[in-house]
Structure formats: C-alpha cells, structure tokens
Amino acid sequence: MRVLGIETSSLRGSVALVEGARVVATAHHEEPHRHGERLLPLLDGLLADRGWSRSSLDRIGVGVGPGSFTGLRVGIALATGLSLGLGVPLVGVGSLQALAARHPASDPRLRVVVRDARRNEHFVAVYDVDGSERAEPQAVPQALTPERVRTLVGDEPFVVLGTLLPDLPCADDEPSRGPDAEAVARLAAHLAPDAHPALPHYVRGPNAIRPHLPPSPLALPRT
C-alpha cells in the first residue's frame, strides 16, 4: 500500500511517502504561514523523484491536531481535495499520537506526549506502547508537574515526549520537531478511515470539534 502523509499542526509542515513498512521519501518546510503554497510542490517533487504519480497513491493520512488552527485547516483541506480527486480513502491521525509513534516500540513505558498550546497551557495525551489512547488530548495548565502527570498514568512507568518541561525529563531526541508526516503515514496505513475521519481536533477554542470534554484531572483548582 502506498500512503501519503501530511502534517501541518505545528510550525513545521511535512509530507511523506510510505510503501508497506518502508519510508520512501520525506520533505518538510519551516514557514508556518506558507503551508498552503509549499506543501503541494513538496509533494509533487517527492512523487517525481520516486517515479510515482498522484494516481498511484492508495491512501492519504493527515494530522488532525491538536495544534495550529490555521495549519490544521490548510493540511486537512489539501488532504481532502487530494482524496476526493483521486478517489482514495482519507484517514485523520491525531498529532499527539503521531508524536508518540516516533518513540521506539521496544520501550514498554506509557507515552506521555506534551505540546505547547500557548495561552499558558499545554496539550497532553497518554498512549500505550501499541499506540492506543489511554488519556485523550486535553489542554492543561503549564504548571505541569510529575504529580499531576501521575493522576493520568497512576503508578505505571512513563516517558515524556514532546515539549521540554523543567520538572519532567523529556526522552524525545528532537523535542522542538513536533509531529511529522512520516509517523502520520505509518499510522494511517493501519487505521480505519470510517473510525478516524479527517476532522480538526482543536481541543479548545470557539471552533473546537469536541468542546465538552470532561474536566482534566491535571487542571489546577479554581480559586
């Protein structure tokens, strides 16, 4: 199966081509305000270099957040247009799940994924080693301590991935890199399109897809 991955939830926009278990090619740019004009040329360049055509793609995966509102809309719009034009399935992949998927599968610990959400908050989610969601993405205060993380993972060992935090050592080799299209494509190859629609998951904000999340166990008490 040939899968195209697209990720635009952060400052870095990326595309990747995956065939079976093999990553065929990747490309990225770091101009967040130009995702719309940079991604398609990057994709066409990868296809040309590998002798592929758009019509040879079997599936498309796109990062659905949480992350940049504008970036998500651009990436999802591009992926949707390609999916409709080519008549291939489209799969939405959580951006925090994509970050977790970069960590070596040989590590049995839970993956606690943290991303800067601005507004003095972080996005946080927890995944099992097999990629299944233990705690869905949520926005929590920046005062994220080991004790608060423990309210999500209990006594189980865990590893922190993503944003660097003072009291939580990060195991990510490139914490500023963010999610990438390679991980999105790999995950999309094994996810059911009907169960994983390409809808933006903002977590918060006036346009949030899931605005009625239960209160975060990490949230600070109101005073």
- CATH number of the domain located at residue range(s) 104-162 in this protein: 3.30.420.200
User: For residue 6, how far is the Cα from the chain centroid?
Assistant: 10
Domain 2-96+177-195 has CATH 3.30.420.40: yes
| Model pLDDT for residues 165-220, shown as the tens digit of each residue | 767 767 765 555 678 999 999 999 999 999 999 999 998 654 344 434 344 333 33
- Neighbouring residues of 28: CB distance < 8 A, sequence distance ≥ 6: 12, 13, 14, 15, 42, 180, 181
| Model pLDDT for residues 75-133, shown as the tens digit of each residue | 999 999 999 999 999 999 999 999 999 889 999 999 999 988 887 888 999 999 999 99
**Residue 64 near residue 199 (C-beta atoms within 8 A):** yes
**Residue 74 near residue 155 (C-beta atoms within 8 A):** no
Please tell me if the domain spanning 2-96+177-195 has the same topology as the one spanning 104-162: yes
Q: So where are the chain's domains?
A: 2-96+177-195, 104-162
For residue 73, the SS3 value is helix
CB burial readout 142-159, b (16+ within 10 A) else e: eebeeebbeebbeeeebb
